[in-house]
Amino acid sequence: MFTSWLAALVVTTALVQDPVAQDTVVPDAAPETAPQLQLDAAPVEDEDIVRSSARDYAAFHHTVSDLHTAPIGSAEDLDYAMDQLSRFYGEERLVRAWIAYAAIVAARHPEYIDEVRELADYYGPQAAISGLMNDPAFATSFRSADGAQDSVVDAIEQDNSEIVQLSERYRTAAYELQSERWANRVYRDREERLARLSAIDDSPIELPDNVRMSLDTGFAEGIPASALFHQSDAAGINDAMSPDLTLNVGHAAVDADRDRVGRILSVAALQSLDGMTDTEAAIDYLLADPAVERCLAWVRLDLSQCVAAGHFKYEDSFCIAEHALLDVSRCLDTHSGSE
């Protein structure tokens, strides 16, 4: 049973004209048996918008994982690292991927999904959609939202920790490379480097077969994307290394941004209503977070300015560490003031 104030909020939001599906017919009565959340991986040919978007986030962390052991012994090595990371930073790609993957983690809490379905059964799916779209923080008001929120924050913190660790590797290299002759001579490739960064390819990123296998297992397990590759083997994910996503309230950081996490939980909630009504347009709208997009736009600008100001190749290693990695981890955060 929902509290009276929550019911009042839903009734109020139901009065707002739905921008997504005005002609959708709301069933006269809830089905006798509530639809069950399907946790199996969707077939590739029938893949939904959340899973298809989340693949880019997994591909990003696959790149981060590879760069942990990639050589840093030549100008070509630094160019490769910068190019591999930059291909994810164009337009909305990484923002949508980040939200989508985190929503899959949130959906691993069936008690939260059940409460969302219960709300949609009682007031109608359009009332639930209106509440979730008009106020992303509304998704955090459900009784069982705390567990889903904590899992999302915990997974994102683990992913960002991997990015920060890689940033430290390239920052250390920036100092160590100053003693290398090749990294200490003046390079005349600044215009070429800037042109490469400005021509970010937004075509789909193809994933190797082993990455796809790990990702499908990750979808089912609801684990951080960074764990797909650090703990993966030929059979998929090492279950013994999968983090426990049943967390106690208060375990995660207390200053998580309700709007930012709420948007992620809203995507998970909307996806669970897909069997009741068409939610794709609403999900597509929430996958675009203007605040994170602005943050990553500054990342691209700062990275370009850093490259333009440099003369030596070891400075490129610093640009990678500071802007292509550390600044990105700050954008992909769940805490207030992270942008």
Is the pLDDT higher at 284 or at 201? 284
Residue 111 has pLDDT above 50, yes or no: yes
Reported as a pLDDT band with limits 50, 70 and 90, residue 25 is: very low
pLDDT of residue 252: 41
pLDDT of residue 237: 37
pLDDT of residue 37: 36
Is the pLDDT higher at 45 or at 53? 53
pLDDT of residue 118: 94
Alpha carbon distance 200, 196 (integer Å): 7
Tokens representing 127? 């009332």
Reported as a pLDDT band with limits 50, 70 and 90, residue 91 is: confident
Q: What residue segments make up the domains of the chain, in order of their start?
A: 48-331
DSSP alpha helix (H) spans, the chain: 4-14, 49-67, 75-86, 93-106, 110-123, 125-134, 145-176, 181-184, 190-198, 209-221, 227-230, 258-272, 280-286, 290-309, 313-319, 327-331
Q: Please tell me the pTM assigned to this model.
A: 0.78
Tokens representing 233? 């083997």
